[in-house]
Structure 1
């Protein structure tokens, strides 16, 4: 299916910021930049809702621990959005290939969401807020760039999204090992401080 790379990439991007994907695709379709965007995403009510929710996410995503709560709430929303966008991109006749496209979009969104949420939880162990802001801006810019690129070069964009997903999974595993080691050392120091010296 030729639309599958675009579905995968939009799903990956939806797992990071679903509202940005819907807003960007809708604007690009409504302005005539791309003919590949379904009309359902170009509706004014969809664009307004996506725009308002994107602004909410832009704020929440940059505040330590608020971002993790936001991510927890969106554990269902982002994969569903990825599946819906994928199904819309593939068509709406309910055929097996279109349902499969929805599954690909939803699965890619779920995986990238888990990577994002895991990375944010690890970053929140840092005492300074700058890392959250930098990471959030990088995610927003990355989603915008990859979605626009995917409309014109879907296969290349899918390869980039797949590579970023694999790197993200490796990064989450690495960060969580570091966080667990840090927490274990802290527990050991506290236990040593509480226990009587020499016993």
Structure 2
């Protein structure tokens, strides 16, 4: 069976939460629920590090502006993780060249990371923190669900991941278009008020009759 659907899905998930992907795959492999996971991801030290970093991300990801700073740091980490996981899965399966799998996993992770980071920056314009908490929780549950589903139904999971990625890109473009339009209108109103205030100041008080 081709490992391509699993590589694509794990790449999408890595762009959102790479540590959760490594942790989930490692746990499923170590417990014997699947034989698709390479031994290198099942190592105890890998699982411990992934678990600790997952907990760090779970906290940072729910705090406004801290999440964007965390995303900035992971602009390189997530695509690299997606590429490495993809290459390892391909090596375990033998049905796809490692280099091709790494390219697919890395590029998919980069695309989903861009959606996540851009969406978070947009959400941070909201004055309340609950949007961040709700979005982060939904992302964590989505990654867990899709990765688990992919191990048993890789083709269907890949289709879901592709739809979510396309929808995320569309929503991101729409949201940032609306934000730019709002900022442009607000700047225009401020400029109009400034010009109106300048015109009133230039007119000055009405001149009185000569003495």
Q: Same fold (TM over 0.5)?
A: yes
Deviates further, 186-195 or 70-79: 186-195
SS for the counterpart of 1:126 is coil
Partner in structure 2 of residue 181 of structure 1: 181
Q: Is the 8 A contact 1:38 1:88 kept in 2?
A: yes
What residue number does 2:129 align with? 129
CA distances 1:124-175 after superposition (whole Å, capped 9, x unpaired): 1111111110000000000000000000000000000000000000000000
Partner of 2:16: 16
Runs of 4+ in 1 over 3 A off after TM superposition: 92-96, 196-199
Q: Displacement, 1:121?
A: 0.7
Q: Measure, in 2, the Cα distance between the counterparts of 1:81 and 1:28.
A: 18
> Does the CA-based 8 Å contact 2:11-2:82 persist in structure 1?
yes
Q: Deviations over 1:91-135 (max 9, x none)?
A: 079998221011100010000000101111111111111111000
> Hey, what does 1:165 align to over in structure 2?
165
Match of 2:206 in 1: none
Alignment partner, residue 62 of structure 1: 62
Distance 1:95 1:8, change over 3 A: closer
Match in the other structure for 1:42: 42
Q: Distance in 2 between matches of 1:189 and 1:62?
A: 34
Question: Partner residue of 2:208?
Answer: none
Cα pair 1:22 1:47 within 8 Å, conserved: yes
Task: Show the counterpart of 2:141.
Answer: 141
- TM-score normalised by structure 2 residue count: 0.90
> How much does 1:198 deviate?
7.8
Q: Which secondary structure state, in structure 1, belongs to the residue aligned with residue 158 of structure 2? A: helix
Unaligned runs of at least 5 residues, structure 1: none
Partner residue of 1:26? 26
Who is 1:3 aligned against? 3
What's the TM-score, normalizing by structure 1? 0.95
**Paired residues, number:** 199
2: CA distance between counterparts of 1:109 and 1:33?
A: 25
Counterpart-to-counterpart distance in 2, 1:131 and 1:96: 40
- The alignment partner of 1:195 has SS state of helix
Say whether 1:82 aligns with 2:82.
yes
Any unmatched runs of 5+ in structure 2? 200-211
8 A Cα contact 2:90 2:96, kept in partner: no
